[in-house]
Chain A
Amino acid sequence: MMSQAMYTATKGTPYNQAMAVELRDVNKWFGSFHALKNINLSVPRGQRIVVCGPSGSGKSTMIRCINHLEQHQSGEVIVNGKALTEDLRKIDEVRSNVGMVFQHFNLFSHLTVLENCALAPVWVRKMPQTAAEELARHYLERVRIAEKADSYPGQLSGGQQQRAAIARALCMNPKIMLVDEPTSALDPEMVKGVLDTMVSLAGEGMTMLCVTHEMGFAREVADRVVFMDRGEIVETNTPHQFFTNSRSERARQFLAQILK
């Protein structure tokens, strides 16, 4: 194990311990495509952020940089006061605090729902199988699909699979939850159940960054809305201001598109 001294920030500005996530001048390219352009964002602990914007605007890329499923090429990503750029051993501290829910659920089709949920606690946390399964049942209850514990993902509706994926993320007891378009792969009638689950999570004080176009959800739970376009954060605003009186023309055009 590396010493704590390795975690000392090298840049001048100290990291704000009250912030769950800080992005400072973050840039990312895919080849010549500039996917994230000078992204700056501070998310205090317990805050709920909704990220929206047109397709290809960098929303998913930005949140995937927070748990290092993708890497930024310049700038700083600081999670719970730990910068990701200096030493890879910090990734472990970061990832142990960050849960991720994916658009396409990413459940393993050959494992039951219960096994899916218990997988990371057993492999990553070295939890005994029985304890992990107990934990998994607890969270499956919590997202109201306890009766599906022994089913395989293929036997569940999309909405149920996404709730299972949320339960799986919760099993790792994250302090920060990253959610990437949780309802965009779902049939319309499935959306409500997933959003209800998300609303209830949001009520528990967990820091949450959620990429979604569900503006009803944004109005109900978001502390702030972050609007992105072409790799940039164009506007950060309260939901009320964003929906009724957005500052940027691009945001107004986007809202006109999705709300019509």
Chain B
Amino acid sequence: MAQIPGDKQMACADTPKSAVGQRNIAEVDFDQIHDRQQFGSVKWANQWDEFSPRVEGEDLLSLWTADMDFRAPETVIARLREAADHGIYGYTRRDPRHYEIVQSWFAHRHNWSPKLETLLPAPAIMPSVAAILRTLTKPGDGVIVQSPVYSPYFEVVQGNGRVLLTNRLRLQNNRYELDLEDFERLAAGGAKAFLLCNPHNPAGMAWTREELAALNDICERHGILVISDDIHCDIRLSDRSHIVFSSISDDAADKSFICTAPTKTFNLAGVPSATISVANRKRRETLLAAMQASFMVNANFFGRLALEVAYSSGAPWLDQLTGYVASNIDLVCEFAGEYLPGITPMRPDASFLVWLDARALDRRVGGIQKFFVDRAGVNLYDGRVYGPGGEGFIRLNVGCPRPLLRRGLERMSSALASM
């Protein structure tokens, strides 16, 4: 879809005039390499935070943490620049139009139109997940996660005093499938919530309506709340469309918290703003009260603005980005087939991440992630981080200029040849 969603209603004060009605944008140069060191990039510092040891390497290529090395859409940059030049960074609020923009984005891109009153403001997705768990489950309650999965899920469950129930995904023909029997067993064993990753990070699997319905049936029978993290939903690479969990049925909507943000889509992780859709009125009010008590609902001056401009004018940019990411993934799959012996990429349905199966090689070299850091100067995410089932896998972030990706692949290939 190369259209701006509902651009008439989007003609708002917070959208620069140049962005409104701009249907054809100039071709974006995603090949351009930018130096990200100067603004403290986590990815290029090769260091998760100030408390983690740095991965050392003079010339280390960073293809790990999930942000992209691309500039955001020009419309977003232009508006944030105007806002920066304004120079008064006081309190701002999300007005009703903010939520209409969110609604319109999901209606146009994903055929899901959440009622406006269901939408809650949030600083980002993970703090919201924490708030939901703390508010709507009790300490000691079981929370199901499907591993291998985005590692903060383990931290948010355990760090908030809930019990982690791990439902391992099943690897079948180089794709992940649900293990519904095991899910049912965990559900029956006292789980109170299920943290769904849709599409699934790290492998980029888009769950089908049937799969989501099967999960919903089990959750319905056992009274389990569903927290759905849809952050990777927008970059669509296969014919599987994004099915929002709450769109499958009324009872699915009633039990779910749909967590969305434009941060992965438009590369805005440093200026976050998120939206949580909660259809159940009572739970929505409870959650909002808890978030207000934690002072989580004030808008960030730049984050709010970035969300509005990105969702209202970023679609053409996203379409170009999607094409570029898809070509990067083709490159990885083609290259690996011939020149990365022992490494099998899994094609994602969505996201800019490629999950690489290197299990046998991992055993041989005693840790494939470290091997590539030490011998190829390429930093990938170690699959072990993603929990049970991640051992021997590595996650490659292809949200980068193709010349960098090529360089990384070449180095990995050379390192394997001289092992």
The chain B residue sitting closest to A126, CB to CB, is B341
**Contacting pair B377 A89 (CB below 8 A):** no
Please report the C-alpha to C-alpha distance between residue A120 and residue B365 in the assembled complex, in whole angstroms. Answer: 11
- B416 beta carbon closer than 8 Å to chain A: yes
User: Do A89 and B338 touch (CB < 8 A)?
Assistant: yes
**A79-111, CB < 8 A from B:** 88-89, 91-92, 95-96, 99-100, 106, 108-111
Interface size class of B (residues with CB under 8 A): 20 to 34
- Contact of A69 with B364 in the complex, beta carbons under 8 Å: no
Nearest A residue to B35, CB-CB:
A31
State which residues 333-355 of B face A: CB under 8 Å. 335, 338-339, 341-342
Which 5 residue pairs of A and B lie closest in terms of their CB atoms, listed nearest first? A95-B417, A100-B418, A68-B414, A110-B366, A91-B410
User: What are 20 A-B interface contacts by the 8 Å CB criterion?
Assistant: A30-B58, A70-B59, A70-B377, A71-B410, A91-B413, A92-B339, A92-B413, A92-B417, A95-B417, A108-B365, A108-B419, A109-B366, A110-B366, A111-B364, A120-B416, A120-B419, A123-B342, A123-B364, A124-B341, A124-B419
CB distance from A29 to the nearest CB of B (A): 9
Q: Is B361 an interface residue (CB 8 A)?
A: yes
* A162 located at the interface, meaning its Cβ lies under 8 Å from any Cβ of chain B in the complex: no
Let me know if A172 is at the binding interface, CB within 8 A: yes
Smallest CB separation, A184 vs chain B (Å): 18
Is the C-beta of A136 less than 8 angstroms from some C-beta in chain B?
no
Considering the complex, which residues of chain A in the window 111-156 have a beta carbon less than 8 Å from any beta carbon of chain B? 111, 119-120, 123-124, 126
Give the Cβ gap from B332 to chain A, nearest Cβ, in Å. 11
> Bound complex: CA of A108 vs CA of B370, how far in Å?
12
Residues of A within 8 A of B411 (CB): 68-71
Q: Is A1 an interface residue (CB 8 A)?
A: yes
| Residue of B335, B339, B416, B417 ringed by the most chain A CB atoms within 10 A | B417
Tell me if A170 counts as interface (CB < 8 A to partner B): no
Q: How far is the CB of B38 from chain A (nearest CB, A)?
A: 11
How far is B341's CA from A95's CA once the two chains are assembled, in angstroms?
13
Q: Is B409 an interface residue (CB 8 A)?
A: yes
- Residues in B neighbouring A89, C-beta threshold 8 A: 335, 338-339
A124 to B375, CA, bound (A): 16
Digitize A236-247: 1 where CB-to-B-CB distance is under 8 Å, 0 elsewhere. 000000000000
> In whole Å, how far is A25's beta carbon from the nearest beta carbon of chain B?
19
Give B371-394 as 1s and 0s: 1 = Cβ < 8 Å from A's Cβ atoms.
000011100000000000000000
Query: Which chain A residues (140-194) contact chain B, with CB distance < 8 Å?
Result: 169, 172
CA distance A91 to B410 in the complex (A): 7
Determine the chain B residues whose CB is within 8 A of the CB of A169 once the complex forms. Answer: 418
**Contact present for B410 and A88 (CB under 8 Å):** yes
Please provide the chain A residues from 27 to 82 with a CB less than 8 Å away from any CB of chain B in the complex: 30-31, 67-71
Whether A99 and B418, one on each chain, are in contact in the complex, defined by CB atoms closer than 8 angstroms, is yes
A120 and B375 contacting across the interface, CB-CB below 8 Å: no
- Asked, given contacts A70-B377, A106-B375, whether A92 binds B338 with beta carbons under 8 Å apart, the answer is yes
B-side contacts of A120, CB under 8 Å: 416-419
Query: Out of B338, B413, B417, which one reaches A172, CB within 8 Å?
Result: B417
> Bound complex: CA of A108 vs CA of B338, how far in Å?
24
The reply to whether A67 and B361 contact each other, CB–CB distance below 8 Å, is: no
* CB-contacts of B305-339 with A (<8 A): 335, 338-339
CB distance from A104 to the nearest CB of B (A): 10
Can you add 17 more A-B contacts, CB < 8 Å, to A91-B339, A92-B339, A108-B366? A68-B413, A69-B411, A69-B414, A69-B415, A70-B59, A88-B406, A89-B338, A89-B339, A95-B413, A95-B418, A100-B418, A106-B375, A108-B419, A119-B419, A120-B418, A123-B361, A123-B364
Whether B407 sits at the interface, judged by CB under 8 Å, is yes
A contacts with B: majority SS: loop
Contacts of B366 in A (CB 8 A): 108-111
Interfacial chain B residues near A126, Cβ < 8 Å: 341
Q: A99 to chain B: which residues have CB within 8 Å?
A: 418
How many angstroms from the CA of A181 to the CA of B411 in the assembled complex?
A: 21
CB distance from B239 to the nearest CB of A (A): 28
User: What is the distance, in angstroms, from A168's C-beta to the closest C-beta of chain B?
Assistant: 9
Identify the closest chain A residue to B416 (Cβ): A124
In the bound complex, what is the Cα–Cα distance between A169 and B419 (angstroms)?
A: 9
In the complex, chain B residues 280-312 whose Cβ is within 8 Å of any chain A Cβ: none
For B406, what are the chain A residues with a Cβ–Cβ distance below 8 Å? 88
A172 to B418, CA, bound (A): 9
Q: Which chain A residue shows the least CB distance to B375?
A: A106
CB distance from A116 to the nearest CB of B (A): 9
A71: B residues at CB distance < 8 A: 407, 410-411
Is A123 in contact with B341, judged by CB distance below 8 angstroms?
Answer: yes
Q: Which residue from A1, A69, A100, A109 sits with its C-beta under 8 Å from B338? A: A1
- Which chain A residue lies CB-closest to B331? A88
Assuming the contacts A91-B410, A110-B366, asked whether A124 and B417 have C-beta atoms less than 8 A apart, the reply is yes
Within the complex, what minimum Cβ distance (angstroms) separates A88 from chain B? 5
The residue from A69, A88, A108 contacting B418, defined by CB atoms under 8 A apart: A69
Chain A residues near B416 (CB, 8 Å)? 120, 123-124
Q: Which of B59, B375, B376, B419 contacts A123 (CB 8 A)?
A: B419
Q: Bound complex: CA of A68 vs CA of B376, how far in Å?
A: 9
Is B414's CB under 8 angstroms from A119's CB?
no
Shortest C-beta distance, A106 to chain B (Å), equals: 7
**A88 — which chain B residues lie within 8 A by C-beta?**
335, 339, 406, 409-410
For B419, list chain A residues within 8 Å (CB). Answer: 108, 119-120, 123-124
Q: Which residues of A contact B418 (CB under 8 A)?
A: 67, 69, 95, 99-100, 120, 169, 172
Bound-state CA distance A92–B337 (Å) is: 12
Known: A68-B414, A99-B418, A124-B416. Contact between A119 and B364, CB under 8 A? yes
Question: What is the minimal beta-carbon distance from B375 to any residue of chain A, in angstroms?
Answer: 7
CA distance A67 to B410 in the complex (A): 10
Shortest beta-carbon distance from A154 to chain B in Å: 13
A66 to B406, CA, bound (A): 16
In the assembled complex, the CB of B400 is this many whole angstroms from the nearest CB of chain A, namely 15
